[in-house]
Structure 1
Amino acid sequence: MAKPPVDNSRRRFMKGAVAAGGAATFVAGYSDPLAKMAKGITGSAGEKPRDRIHGNSLAPEYRVNLDTGELTLNPDQRTAFTICYGCTTQCGVRVRVDKKSDKVLRVSGNPYHPLSADDHLPMRTPVAEALRHVSAYGGQGQVNRSTACARGNAMMSQLDSPFRVSHCLKRVGERGGREWQKISFEQLIEEICEGGDLFGEGHVDGLRAIHDHDTLIDPDNPEYGPKANQLMVMEATDYGRSDLLKRFTMNAFATRNYGHHGSYCGLSFRMGSGAVMNDLGNNAHVKPDIQNARFIMYIGTAPSQAGNPFKRQGRLIAKARAEGTLEYVVVDPALNASTSHAADHNRWVPIRPGTDSAFAMAIIQWLLDNEGYAAEFLALPGKAAADAAGEATHSNATHLVIDTESHPRRGHFLRASDLGLAETDSDADAPMVVANGELVHSEEVMAAELFVERNVTLADGTTVQVKSSMTLLREAAHEHELATYAEHCGIPESTIIELASRYASHGRRAVVNC
């Protein structure tokens, strides 16, 4: 059957119409950038720049004679050494301020601060010497630059941001409706203190009504405390006012509900770190020893992007990566700037969101099955043993746990008081362990058995089953097969085995950060 003749004129017309339409759409969508491009051909956005080489860049804050080291300050600017509040790290920064307008011109690194320079300067160093230190004089600035991160530089825009809250605001409309109205400071204080039908949703008690330390919130639940505990004060981070807020909240008003930044950001991590460092009062923020570690597994976090101090971690890990002393893996759903094919000794392992626990249990299972753990350290049952071994701390791996389901203390450590050997909660009421087959006090032996499962008769005559913490961990890790964990978290089983093997091969120079 013969093909019908092709109407080339119509086809050319359609092609032309599509091309013209596409060009029109492009011009309409990019009219503003195109106008700026055309305007910028003759100079800086159509205007002659101040300098033919440096354009409209800022005038230097000072100059250093590279031959003599003589320092000449810019008379139109002043320099302030201060702290950045762009995040909770609080790095030291150097701020340049225009004397005439009193505006911040630039944020740079503070050479005195340990988080802003590899080898920070002693505080007794004269400012003139510090400024020479970060200049090209003698090559110092290239060897040990003091820097500010992108977030630190962005802080200067917050000073004049049109979105900065500069008035007292009150919600109007429904919750989540994002409708607000400006109110006076006097109205704010009155409504907070006196309460009322503040939002058209019914009466709300003010501070005066709940400033009651005698009446319980709920008599059936006395642990809630008095009505004063109905006040909750929260802050984002310490901007220099935390002590004042704490004094008002806990001392003056006497509510226990004070929420600090650490209450909802990394609390579990900090509590774990505090337990390891025996400092639950301060909950020290423990980080990997990047300079001495040889393998780090970052799970759900990323060096220099998450987990402060960002900048300090970034500098250390970049140096270790460049020198080839460190290999690290980032296990995270998102590919972040911490891993790059442009550099060696790092790797990204994608994981399904919310499945970190499955990945961790898979790693633990392999390590337990292949003895990829520090057995000698884990066998230290108490402080006395740790001190004798020259260790900073010890673990509870050997401590016995009551595991009889019907017993009221199931899940608690078997302590000396359970056996009638000490008063409850006394200094002598330490966990019990097994050493050389015998049930002993954890502070009386230098090493204990890691894997224990046996029956023990308590002081009241009842018999309970006890297991060591290490045994319970092994049981939990083997609740599922390795293949099941792998399927759940979306990481191939072979990759999990490879990572666990790499981790074990570096011994105690391997670190997990999550």
Structure 2
Amino acid sequence: MASINLDRRSFLKAAGGLGALSIAGVGIAGLPREAHAEEAAFPEQRHGQPIEATVDPETGKLDINDDVVVRYSACLGCYSSCGNRLKLDRASGRLISVGGNPYHPSCAYPYLDFDEPLSEAYQSMGFASGKGNLTRGTVCGRGQATQDVYAQPNRITAPLKRAGKRGEGKWKAIGWDELIKEVTEGGKLFADAGEDREVEGFKALHDTETPLNPAQPDLGPVSNQFVMLGGRGDGRTTIGTRFTNCFGSLNQYGHGST
């Protein structure tokens, strides 16, 4: 058997050539048959995420998987409010993944016009039928991590009311209708916790005529007892400011930067 003299440089060149051939498609014949089977629109899922849609690379024909729901929204992972693209399982409502929104300028450039149909978003992201002129919608790692926040088992998904003494750390979940009624009407809201204190509701404070303290007219009317302490400014500040102004209070604050 003839010996082969192959130094390190020659070996690396040969290995690089084989890698280039694989990338160019020489190894495609070895791929599983399901990868390019035409008889099944959605092949049986074995690994990874479910296929949300298929796009014919020549005709651009779109075939959507009805088992997967796609929603285009905005990310609350930070204050940039970039767009995001959520993929959910229709049967369970489970959030499968979070990605970038091709309609949002913070996620793609050039980006899709808001008037473009959702079918155009599928095609542009799939690089099919000449639609690959768009950068695929992307979102940063923090935006993708919002999926973990959504799935956090300790995430608060219902209003919580104190069920013990202050600082005792006891809470109970109540409905939204009950929350609105108690906040609006007031009353002895913590009688179940052994308190006989009367808590004023919004109705008791909605008085723009009576001075809060006649001896200190600079404090304004009773309605100034209502204080709106807001958080981040991704639309909530606008709503909070409008509500506070309509209520008749000057006390609206934000603490998003602290």
- Normalising by the smaller structure, the TM-score range is 0.5 to 0.7
Match of 2:90 in 1: 99
In the alignment, what sits opposite 1:224? 219
Partner residue of 1:213 out of 208, 211, 220: 208
Matched, 1:85 2:76: yes
Aligned match of 2:6: none
For the structure 1 residues 193 and 126, does the alpha-carbon distance in structure 2 shift closer, same or farther, using more than 3 Å as the test? closer
* Matched residue, 2:178: 186
Distance 1:186 1:265 in 2: 28
Q: 1:210 to 1:130 in 2, by over 3 A?
A: closer
Equivalent AA in structure 2 for residue 189 of structure 1: K
State how far apart, in whole Å, the 2-side matches of 1:189 and 1:173 are. 20
- Tell me what 1:256 maps to: 250
Post-superposition CA distance 1:415-474 (Å, at most 9, x none): xxxxxxxxxxxxxxxxxxxxxxxxxxxxxxxxxxxxxxxxxxxxxxxxxxxxxxxxxxxx
* CA-CA distance at 1:229 after TM superposition: 0.6
Q: Distance in 2 between matches of 1:139 and 1:188?
A: 49
- Asked if the contact 2:160/2:174 (under 8 Å) is kept, the reply is yes
Distance 1:75 1:188, change over 3 A: closer
SS state at 1:96 partner = strand
Aligned length: 209
Please give the secondary structure, in 2, of the residue aligned with 1:134. Answer: helix
CA distance in 1, matches of 2:49, 2:162: 42
1:13-40 Cα offsets, whole Å, 9 max, x none, are xxxxxxxxxxxxxxxxxxxxxxxxxxxx
What amino acid maps onto 2:81 in structure 1? Q
SS of the residue aligned with 1:106?
Answer: strand
Partner of 1:129: 120
Instruction: Give the secondary structure class of the aligned counterpart of 1:120.
Output: coil
Structure whose alpha-carbon radius of gyration is higher: 1
Q: Which amino acid counterpart does residue 178 of structure 2 have in structure 1?
A: E
- Deviation of 1:221 after TM superposition, in Å, equals 4.0
Question: Alpha-carbon deviation of 1:230?
Answer: 0.7
CA change 1:186–1:216 in 2 (3 A) is same
Per-residue deviation at 1:218? 3.7
Q: How does the TM-score come out when normalised to structure 1? A: 0.35
1:169 paired to 2:172: no
**Secondary structure in 2 aligned to 1:95?**
strand
Alignment partner of 1:250: what SS? helix
C-alpha distance in 2 between matches for 1:201 and 1:163:
31
- Partner residue of 1:76 out of 62, 67, 90: 67
Matched residue SS, 2:69: strand
SS at match of 2:106: coil
The answer to whether structure 1 residue 233 and structure 2 residue 228 are counterparts is yes
Separation in 1 of the partners of 2:125 and 2:184? Answer: 50
Q: 1:152 aligns with which of 138, 143, 156?
A: 143
> Deviation string for 1:267-308 (max 9, x for gaps)?
9xxxxxxxxxxxxxxxxxxxxxxxxxxxxxxxxxxxxxxxxx
Deviation per CA, 1:23-69: give whole Å up to 9, x if none: xxxxxxxxxxxxxxxxxxxxxxxxxxxxxxx9520122223344554
Q: Structure 1 residues 188, 79: CA separation in 2 closer, same or farther (over 3 Å shift)? A: closer
Distance 1:197 1:77, change over 3 A: closer
| 2:89–2:96 contact (8 Å) kept in structure 1 | yes
Change (3 A) 1:69 1:243: same
Once the two structures are superposed, residues 167-221 of structure 1 have per-residue CA deviations (whole angstroms, 9 ceiling, x without a partner) of 3322244544432233454376236533448474955433343333233334454
Unaligned regions of 5+ residues in structure 1, if any?
Answer: 1-53, 268-514
Question: For the Cα contact (< 8 Å) 2:71–2:86, is it kept in 1?
Answer: yes
SS of corresponding position for 2:126: coil
Q: What amino acid maps onto 1:82 in structure 2?
A: S
Is 2:113 the counterpart of 1:113?
no
Q: Distance in 1 between matches of 2:174 and 2:118?
A: 45
Matches within 5 A, 1:79-478: 79-137=70-128, 140=132, 144-159=135-150, 161-183=152-174, 185-186=177-178, 189-190=181-182, 193-196=185-188, 198=190, 200=195, 203-237=198-232, 245-251=240-246, 253-259=247-253, 263-266=254-257
Contact 1:171 1:181 (C-alpha < 8 Å) held by counterparts: yes
Assess if the C-alpha contact under 8 Å between 2:230 and 2:236 holds in 1: no
TM-score (norm 2): 0.62
Cα separation, 2, equivalents of 1:152 and 1:241: 20
Q: Residue 357 of structure 1 corresponds to which residue in structure 2?
A: none
CA distance in 2, matches of 1:187, 1:74: 40
How much does 1:163 deviate? 2.4
SS of the residue aligned with 2:49? coil
- Once the two structures are TM-superposed, the CA of residue 254 in structure 1 deviates from its matched residue by 1.4
The CA RMSD over aligned residues, in Å, is: 3.7
Distance 1:229 1:121 in 2: 46
Is contact 1:196–1:206 with CA below 8 Å preserved after alignment?
no
Deviation sequence 1:240-291 (CA, Å, 0-9, x none): 666665454321x3122233xxx22349xxxxxxxxxxxxxxxxxxxxxxxx
Q: Is the 8 A contact 1:172 1:180 kept in 2?
A: yes
Q: Which runs of 5+ in 2 are unaligned?
A: 1-44
Q: 1:156 to 1:205 in 2, by over 3 A?
A: same
CA distance 1:62–1:206, change in 2 (3 Å): closer
